[in-house]
A and B are shown apart, each in its own frame.
Chain A
Amino acid sequence: MSTIGTSVPRKEAPNKVTGRARYTNDINIPGTLSAVVVPAHRAHGKILSIDTSEAKKVPGVKAIVIGDDLSVLTGDVTQDRPPLAKDKVRYWGEPVALVIARDESIARRAAALVNVRIKPLPVVNSIPDSLADNAPLVHEKNGDYTVATPPVSPKKKSNLADQANVKKGDVEKGLKASDVKVQVHVSLPQIDHAAMEPRVAKAEILADGRVLIHASTQAPFEVQKLVAQYFNLKPGQVIVTAPLIGGAFGGKAAIQLELLAYIASKAVGGQMVKIANTREEDLTMSPLGLGLEADITLGATKDGRIQAANMKFYLDIGAYTDSAPRIARAIAAQCTGPYHVANVHTDVFCVYTNHTYTTAFRGFGHMPMTFAVERAVDELAQALKMDPLEFRRKNAIDIDNMTPTKARLTRSNLGDLPACLNEMERLIGWQGGEVQAVGPHRVRAQGVAAFWKTSSSPPNAVSGAIITMNSDGSVNLSTGAVEFGPGTKTTAAMILAEKLRIPLDRVYVHEDVNTSVNPEHWKTVASLSTYMVGRAVLDAANDLLQQLLNLAAIVLRCSPDDLDYGNEHVFVRDDPHISIKFSDLALGYKYQEGDSIGGQLMGRGRFMIRHLNLLDQETGHGKPGPAWTVGVQAVEVEYDQETHQYRVLKAATVLDAGRVINPQVATGQVMGGMNMGIGVASREGVHYDPNGTFLNPQFRSYKVMRMGEQPQQYLVEFVQTPQMDSPYGARPLGEHAVLAIGAALANALSRAANTPLNTLPITPEMIWQQRRERR
């Protein structure tokens, strides 16, 4: 019997098809109050006054909090963000006041009566605006804020919130040695995670001092620590629960509503208060994914070997830093894409603007970074008149190469990119990058792009697992990982079932995470749960098995070394008839006389990431993650040269998954990732007007993919090169399918339209414009 490698439904699947799956906003205690924000309707301005007198008169209003009532500044890295705007507003939609009332409709009515007077200031509405000489400052105190988690390198009296760099070899020499050079400028807008469940948080302060927070968060343990830190509480006092999450994509790793919920509860004497984003608030007020402008210079020899990469990335992080410095370092560390480049100089700048602030987005900066690099790589292949897939194979990073940060690559920590390229060639029926006419004005083209990613996680990230045995010999598995769709809990249960040699339905998992009950898991991010939770589960399983065998050895009057287990029995290896059931040991063993030994069997396990370090601020050298997942993506498009409309016929991914634990779930994860990546590349993007007003805060204006717009065919294959330190060899794959599919689409369409397309989203209008500008 083996569970690993089989397609099993998610543990919670029956609940999800019956309406029984409960999310944060489905669990409400009668009497819960409602909090609503008053948003800023200026992107940049000085707050002159906030008049709450009319709002307070509305019957049912309990309290109104404004920025001046609070002294705390928050931030993952740099503490630059007040939970409610103070003195200044820095983006359209920023919360200015918080109205707490008996129910949401009362709170909204009152919120509309709060009179906020703002003196407009010049708006920093783009990266060039922000970098211009004498640009208005988004933060006058830039460089003076408390840094909670270094490294970060802000520049005073500027809009540069941070700067990171990586240097390897000699980039000038490398460019000189290059026969062919290309320069590419790319420009990508901010995007929204658009999880179907809008963010929601509830908080209550009990009479005994404990603070209960229920939230749609990927990071309950982080919420616990930060709420304690910001509001002078002891971490143990703060108890955070996260039930099932309705999609996350990095957007629910940021901490915003949790703080507002606590502030609201505090303002009304500790009563339970809920704050639930509307869709419009979720887009405008809560953090987005960053925008990017990048200048990429690549050089190669005539025979197609990349010699040098000189890159500048400017991130539109919006009005507050949040996790941008970490993302900047992740971009710097993987800046070459999955290619061996001996000479590298990369600078990454975090640029404040008067746009909605940003946070992690599926891929942690690798999606925009990969777009920039892969456009340049494709242009270079074209300049060399080489098959773009062949060109990538020639330069593919491999074992014994060094990453840009000089981390050593091994067969275990790096997937097999050449194998992925070979498989892709077959899977999509690669045509060598040639454009083919298929009718009057209609052509077909293929595009390819490759990705790599590591976790860029803190060097001290922890995970844990606790297993308790039930009276029937089944087990409960407790971990701190949140479930938002990828089947995290199911995977952990599969790893445990495999180890204990029991059927999967004998492992019980609980949807909710509770920081006071479950062992800590850093954050459910970075596609790390299978690796980190999985290792902790194996550790806990070993602990449990040892207890099982030790107790069985006493009962069976032998040494534990003589024992083996299977079929929910412990048995003597050379005489399996001498055996005892798990269930007879689960709560201790009871002798015939009635006296008993043992007690409940419970395994505990833990895991800590090892051998990582923070990148050196000067050189950027260091090891940012335990392993690099690699893969190749390709599309085939049909393009109309007259209307510039196009249709994606095929989209394909080949990814080195190490070992596929659940093929159907893994395939779904990759297909969904491709769909999101194609949506981002073809239609998504936040629009701001010249005043910085957020123009498209709804799904009718912020377009995401809908049924029927997906490619005619999604193709997925896995290469399996085991990662030796990961459970059963599995490599991370949750985020990855978004990373290069947009670049593959742009590469295909650039060939089809015979114009470099380096701006997203690629709409027919944008192609038309690019072609016109080129003429």
Chain B
Amino acid sequence: MKSLTKPEQVSLTINQEPCDVVIYPGETLLYTLRGDALGLTGAKPGCENGDCGACTVLVDGVPMKSCMVLTAEVEDRDILTVEGLKETPIQRAFMDQQAFQCGYCTSGFLMVGHALAQDVANASPERTIEWLRSNICRCTSYQEIYDAVSSVVHPERS
């Protein structure tokens, strides 16, 4: 990890594309993603202290709250944002189950669900719930979100 004292260029890999951006020291990944240079506004600010998960992205396949990650920490790591999801089963499942209403928390939940589908093969229902507890949705009953994630993570059960 670089130690930065003034704006400096860093090389990031976002959605499998290398990109060079100039960042301030202390800049969060959420800020960098949403900034004018990248314009990846799918990750949302909801609390900026890790409580709500609306800003969740995957770093090397693991869900991270991008408001709690410094951009300088994630050079040379694979960053996947909601914009990098292309016709994945989790997106289809969220559509089918109507697992969102306003849509503001959706990117974050999708990323956690996608990670569960990719990384933790056969995650138990308990584990799935535990992971999804990191994020908040104020519109749905959570049942829709659980059903959507579960249909992808444990299709044999649904």
Query: In the complex, what distance in Å separates the CA atom of A672 from the CA atom of B140?
Result: 4
Of residues A25, A276, A279, which shows the largest number of chain B Cβ atoms within 10 Å of its Cβ?
A: A279
Q: What residue in chain B is nearest A278 (Cβ atoms)?
A: B48
A23 CA to B51 CA, complexed, in Å: 20
Within 8 A of A (CB), among B13-62: 34, 36, 40-49, 51-52, 54
What A residues does B54 contact at CB under 8 A?
196
B103 within 8 A of A: yes
Q: Does B76 contact A (CB under 8 A)?
A: no
Q: Name the CB-closest residue of B to A7.
A: B98
| Residue A710 CB within 8 A of the other chain | yes
CB–CB B41/A704 < 8 A: no
Contact A19 B49 (CB under 8 A): no
Mark interface residues in A227-257 (1 if CB within 8 Å of B CB, else 0).
0000000000000000011111100000000
Q: Contacts A706-B133, A708-B133: A12 and B103 contacting too (C-beta < 8 A)?
A: yes
A714 and B141 in contact (CB under 8 A), knowing A485-B102, A668-B101?
yes
Q: Is A194 an interface residue (CB 8 A)?
A: yes
A246 and B136 within 8 A (CB): no
Q: Contact at B46–A198, with CB atoms within 8 Å?
A: yes
Whether A19 contacts B138 by the Cβ 8 Å rule is no
Kindly list chain A residues whose C-beta atoms are within 8 Å of the C-beta of B91: 17-18
Which residues 679-718 of A have a CB within 8 angstroms of B? Answer: 698-700, 704-710, 714
**Cβ–Cβ contact B106 & A16, under 8 A:** yes
Interface check B4, CB cutoff 8 A: no
For the complex, what is the distance from the CA of A672 to the CA of B43, rounded to whole Å? Answer: 23
User: A19 to chain B: which residues have CB within 8 Å?
Assistant: 40-43, 81-83, 107
A23-B44, A247-B102 known; A671+B36 contact, CB < 8 A: no
The verdict on A704 contacting B138 (CB below 8 Å), with A23-B44, A279-B48, A279-B49 known, is: yes
Q: Are B104 and A698 interface neighbours, CB within 8 A?
A: no
With a cutoff of 8 Å between Cβ atoms, the chain B residues found around residue A279 in the complex are 46-49, 51-52
Question: What string of 1s and 0s marks CB contacts (under 8 Å) between A707-737 and chain B?
Answer: 1111000100000000000000000000000
A665 within 8 A of B: yes
Chain B hits for A704, CB < 8 A? 136, 138
| Contact partners of A709 in chain B: CB under 8 A | 142
Q: Which A residue's beta carbon lies closest to that of B84? A: A19
Q: How far, in whole Å, are A485 and B64 apart by their CA atoms in the complex?
A: 26
Closest chain-A Cβ to B157's Cβ sits at a distance in Å of: 15
- Select which of B83, B104, B110, B142 is within 8 A of A707 by beta carbon: B142
Within 8 Å CB of A698, what residues of B?
Answer: 47, 49, 51
A229 vs chain B, min Cβ distance (A): 30
Best-buried of B41, B129, B132 by chain A (most CB within 10 Å): B41
Give the residues in chain B near A244, CB-CB below 8 Å. 102-103
| Candidates B51, B81, B94, B102; contact of A699 at CB < 8 Å | B51
Tell me the B105-152 residues at the A interface (CB within 8 Å): 105-107, 110, 129-130, 132-133, 135-146
Complex contacts, B98 vs chain A, CB 8 Å: 9-10, 13, 664-665, 668
| Interface flag for A454 (CB, 8 Å) | no
Instruction: Known A16-B100, A19-B83, A704-B136; judge A675-B46 contact (CB<8 A).
Output: no
A625 at the A/B interface (Cβ < 8 Å)?
Answer: no
Kindly provide the distance from the CB of B92 to the nearest chain A CB, expressed in whole angstroms. Answer: 8
Contact (Cβ within 8 A) B133 A714: no
Interface presence of B85 (CB below 8 A)? yes
Contact status A197-B102, CB under 8 Å: yes
Whether A245 contacts B102 in the complex (CB less than 8 A), given A198-B46, A707-B133, comes out as yes
A486 contacts the other chain (Cβ, under 8 Å)?
yes
Q: Tell me if A14 is interfacial: C-beta within 8 Å of chain B.
A: yes
Chief secondary structure at chain A's binding surface:
loop
- Pair B47/A699 contact, Cβ less than 8 Å: yes
Task: Provide the residues of chain A in CB contact with B95, threshold 8 Å.
Answer: 9, 13-14, 17
* Given known A9-B95, A17-B94, A485-B103, contact A671–B49 (CB-CB < 8 A): no
Q: How far in angstroms is the closest Cβ of chain A from B31?
A: 9
Q: How far is the CB of B35 from chain A (nearest CB, A)?
A: 9
- A28's nearest neighbour on chain B, judged by CB, is B36
Q: Is the pair B45, A17 in contact by a Cβ cutoff of 8 Å? A: no
- Given A25-B45, A669-B101, A672-B101, does the pair A485, B106 have CB atoms closer than 8 Å? no
Contacts of A486 in B (CB 8 A): 101
Our pick among A9, A13, A26, A664 for the contact of B41 (Cβ within 8 Å) is A26
Q: How far in angstroms is the closest Cβ of chain B from A620?
A: 34
Q: Mark A376-413, 1 if CB is under 8 A from B, else 0.
A: 00000000000000000000000000000000000000
Task: Name which residue of chain B comes closest to A19, CB basis.
Answer: B42
Known: A196-B102, A247-B138, A485-B103. A671 touches B144 (CB 8 A): yes
B residues near A245, Cβ cutoff 8 Å = 102
Q: Measured between C-beta atoms, what is the minimum distance from B74 to chain A in Å?
A: 19
The answer to whether A246 and B44 touch (CB under 8 A), given A30-B36, A707-B142, is: yes
- In the complex, whether A268 has a CB less than 8 A from a CB of chain B is no
Complex CA distance for A197 and B52, rounded to whole angstroms:
11
CB contact list, A1-32 vs B, under 8 A:
9-10, 12-23, 25-26, 28, 30
Chain B residue at minimal CB-CB distance from A671: B141
Distance to closest chain B CB from A611 (angstroms): 32
Q: Is A171 an interface residue (CB 8 A)?
A: no
- Complexed CA–CA distance, A13 and B148 (Å): 14
- What is the CB-to-nearest-CB distance from B53 to chain A, in angstroms, rounded to a whole number? 10
Binary flags per residue of B65-99, CB closer than 8 Å to A gives 1, else 0: 00000000000000001110100000100110010
In Å, the complex CA distance between A168 and B101 comes to 41
Tell me whether B142 and A675 are in contact (CB under 8 A): yes
Question: B interface vs A, CB < 8 Å?
Answer: 34, 36, 40-49, 51-52, 54, 81-83, 85, 91, 94-95, 98, 100-107, 110, 129-130, 132-133, 135-146
A19-B107, A246-B102 known; 10 other A-B pairs, CB under 8 Å? A16-B100, A16-B103, A17-B94, A19-B81, A23-B44, A195-B102, A668-B101, A671-B140, A672-B101, A675-B141
Q: What are 27 A-B contacts defined by CB distance under 8 Å? A: A13-B100, A16-B100, A16-B106, A18-B42, A19-B83, A19-B107, A20-B83, A23-B104, A28-B36, A194-B138, A196-B136, A196-B137, A196-B139, A197-B44, A198-B45, A247-B139, A276-B45, A279-B49, A279-B52, A487-B101, A669-B101, A675-B142, A699-B47, A704-B136, A704-B138, A708-B130, A708-B132
A-B interface, 4 closest residue pairs, ranked by CB to CB distance from nearest: A19-B42, A246-B104, A485-B101, A16-B103
